[in-house]
Amino acid sequence: MKDAFRIDVGIDKIKDYLMSRIDTTSPVEVEKVGRYLKHIEIYRRMERTVKKEGVSVSIKNASQSFVKSHPLLNEMNKVNSSIMSIEKTFNFIDDNDGKPKFTANDLI
């Protein structure tokens, strides 16, 4: 059997890529990269836990017993939404002239 296809990219590679695409003199943009990377680390930690424990858990309450989805699945969705939100706010610089790819007119 072939190796499973891995979509996880190393945090260092993501950091290097993002830092090369933003204005690193802007503390706000650098902070966004840090938050983005921290959210990815948190998401991956939760993903490993769910993979280890399974996507469903058995709950026993007195004489009742039932199965429900792993509680971390909801949290993973929240973190994923935060990751996507941060992605949308990056002000990437254009490789050609070092200026953002948008102008104030784009907001009108």
Each residue of 69-100: pLDDT tens digit?
A: 999 999 999 999 999 999 999 999 875 555 55
Geometric angle at alpha carbon 44, from 4 and 22, rounded to 5°: 105
Provide the pLDDT for residue 82.
97
Backbone angles phi, psi at 3, to 5 degrees: -60, 140
Q: How far apart are CA 74 and CA 6, in angstroms?
A: 23
Residue 45 CA, chain-centre distance (Å), reads 11
Provide the pLDDT for residue 1.
45
Q: Quickly tell me which residue has 């993973």 as its tokens.
A: 76
Max distance between CA atoms of the chain, in angstroms, equals 68
The pLDDT of residue 20 is above 80: yes
- Where is pLDDT greater, at 62 or 18? 18
Render pLDDT for 22-62 as a digit per residue (tens, 0 to 9).
999 999 999 999 999 999 999 999 999 999 999 998 888 88
- Where is pLDDT greater, at 11 or 101? 11
Half-sphere exposure of 108 (CA within 13 A, CB side): 3
What does the domain layout of the chain look like in residue ranges? 11-95
8 A C-beta contact, residue 81 and residue 72: no
8 A C-beta contact, residue 42 and residue 79: yes
pTM confidence score: 0.76
For residue 8, what pLDDT band results from cuts at 50, 70 and 90?
Answer: confident
